Amino acid sequence: MGDAALGGLEVGGRGAGVPVGKNAGAVPVHMASGAAARATSYLLLYPVDVLRTRAQFLAGARAEGGGWRVGLREVVRREGLGSLWRGAHLRLLYTVPAAGMSFCFYEQALAAASGASQSGGWTLALALAVRLAATGARLPVDIAKQRAQLLGALAGEEGGQVAKSTIRGMRGLGASLADLRKLSLGGDLLPCYRASLLRDVPFALVYFGGFEASKAACVWTGAAENKADLGVPLTLVSGGVAGGVASCLTIPFDVVKTRMQLRNLDSVRDALPASARDASGAGGVFASMRTIFDRHGVAGLTAGLRHRLMQVVPSASLTLTLYEAYKHALLDRLGGADPPGIPA
- Classify residue 176: in a domain, yes or no: yes
- Classify residue 215: in a domain, yes or no: yes
Q: pLDDT value at position 306?
A: 87
From residue 102, alpha-carbon distances to 32, 117, 163, 262 in Å are 11, 18, 42, 27
Phi/psi at 294 (nearest 5 deg)? -65, -35
CA neighbor of 338 nearest in space, from 16, 17, 20, 26: 26
d(CA 102, CA 316): 13
d(CA 83, CA 50): 9
- Spans of the chain, pLDDT less than 50: 1-24, 60-70, 156-170, 279, 339-344
- Classify residue 200: in a domain, yes or no: yes
Q: pLDDT value at position 10?
A: 29
Range of the domain at 293: 3-7+22-334
- Classify residue 107: in a domain, yes or no: yes
d(CA 39, CA 51): 19
Tens of pLDDT, residues 152-183: 666 544 434 444 444 444 455 555 566 666 66
- Classify residue 16: in a domain, yes or no: no
- Classify residue 15: in a domain, yes or no: no
The tally of domains found in the chain comes to 1
* 105 and 126 Cβ atoms separated by less than 8 Å: yes
- Classify residue 342: in a domain, yes or no: no
What is the domain-level CATH number for residue 246? 1.50.40.10
CA neighbor of 154 nearest in space, from 172, 142, 166, 145: 166
- Classify residue 319: in a domain, yes or no: yes
